[in-house]
Structures are given as C-alpha cells and as structure tokens.
Amino acid sequence: MKLFILLLVPFLWAQSPDPYVILDRVDQNMLSTTKILEGKMIVYGKRNTRTITFRSYSEGIDKSFTEYLSPAREAGTKMLKLKDNLWIYSPAADRTIQISGHMLKQSVMGSDMSYEDMMEDRKLKDVYYATVKGEETVDGHACWILELNAKVKEVAYEKMKIWVDQQRYVPLREELYAKSGQLLKRAVFSDVQRFGSRWYPTKINYRDVLKKGKGTDFIVTRLKLDVIIDPYMFTKAALRR
C-alpha cells in the first residue's frame, strides 16, 4: 500500500503541480546573482523598423545599468535603475534626469515597453496568487498555464497568464490583463538556449495588443551569468563615465 502511495505522489504532482513551485523553478532558472547581457531591441514602427543595440549589467532584481550602443542617435545613452529609482543620462544634453511620475508611462526608446514595465521587479509569487489552469503546447513544448491574480493592491496588472515550459522551466508566453479582464500586453519568449545550468529565452517579442503593430523584439546576442561586476557600475557617477 505504502509503495503504491509513493508511486502515486509524482503522478499526482504531475497532474496538479504546485504553481508556486513552478514559479520558484522559473525564478531559479531566469534569475542570477549577476548578469551581463548584450542584445538588440527591434522596434517595429508603422513606417520603419529601428534596431537599437545595448549592453546591460544587472545584480539581482534591484540594480541594473544599461548602455545603448547604436544607432548613433541613441549611442551613449545610459540608464540606471536602483530599486524604485530610474535615471537616464543623455550624452547630447550631457545631463542626468530622474524618470518619475508621468514620465514613467512613456515608452522606452519608442518600444512597446514603458519605463514602468521595466521598473516592475517584485517576485511574482510575492504579489500574485497562482493557480495552474491547464496545459498547452507552445512551439512543440508542453507547458503549464499559470493564472496569476493579484494579492496586493499596488500592482500594475491585476491578472497575468504565463505558459511555462514543463521541461525547461522557462516562460514561453505571457499575457497581462487589466482589472476589467481586457488583455493589454503579450510577451512571446523563444529561441531558448542553455547557458551553463540554466535555460534562457534569447528572443522576446513584447507587444501592446491594444495598439496596431508587431511590437518590439528583444534579442539576446551575448549573455554572461553570475560574473563579477564592479559595484561602481551601479552608481550615478557611472552614467557620466
């Protein structure tokens, strides 16, 4: 009898996995102590497409420093995020400005992502109740569909849906909803690659679904995880360097 129960446990877990365990596994996979990422952001506009390359350094979820490398118009622009604060350095004006209030609603370099979206850095399980709503295959990978409903008031999206790859614990799709249930934004993660012991999606398409267009692609061209980053990088002085 005991043997039967022991054999049944993994089967039951497979049938109804703990959503918080899944979120933990996703965090373990996606979050690293430090990260240096080089990539490009492709902004699909109505008339033209812009490609912006950048290099980003981050430590945990509180600290990040991004430098835009091209095109010439954006080259040298730097962005520093320390917890709830965001500063931008513009080389043309040689000034550092803090992005706050109304300005946080503006898009980052004309993309579908706002500064506010960038600022959201709390762990999902801290702000959402999670339930597994079912399973679905995305790009040939079996996924759990996790539905997240806000458990705190101060949250940008009342509801989220995440499709998590059952094998690699990587999100493959994400949908963000308004309080009314209206779908607002959709992120599609693809080109999942292995970096050491982790799986990481190297292409993300982020789209404001209320707006016409193909959204914005974030493509990772180089990724280094758990490397030593000079603490100076996460200071305001580094913006003018």
**Residues contributing to the site for another protein (CB under 8 A):** 100-103, 105, 150, 153-158, 176, 178-180, 182, 184, 208, 210-213
Least spacing, CB of residue 157 vs another protein, in Å: 6
Residues 6+ apart with CB under 8 A from 185: 112, 117, 157, 175, 176, 206, 207, 208, 209
Q: Which is nearer to another protein, 84 or 230 (CB)?
A: 84
Q: Which is nearer to another protein, 69 or 209 (CB)?
A: 209
Least spacing, CB of residue 105 vs another protein, in Å: 7
Q: Which is nearer to another protein, 25 or 186 (CB)?
A: 186
Is 139 strand, coil or helix? coil
Q: Which is nearer to another protein, 160 or 223 (CB)?
A: 160
Return phi, psi of residue 153, to 5°: -80, -40
Least spacing, CB of residue 121 vs another protein, in Å: 14
Examine residue 71 and say whether the peptide bond preceding it is cis (omega within 30 degrees of 0): yes
Q: Which is nearer to another protein, 56 or 114 (CB)?
A: 114
Least spacing, CB of residue 76 vs another protein, in Å: 26
Alpha carbon distance 54, 106 (integer Å): 19
Least spacing, CB of residue 213 vs another protein, in Å: 8
Examine residue 17 and say whether the peptide bond preceding it is cis (omega within 30 degrees of 0): no
Alpha carbon distance 105, 116 (integer Å): 6
Alpha carbon distance 131, 152 (integer Å): 16
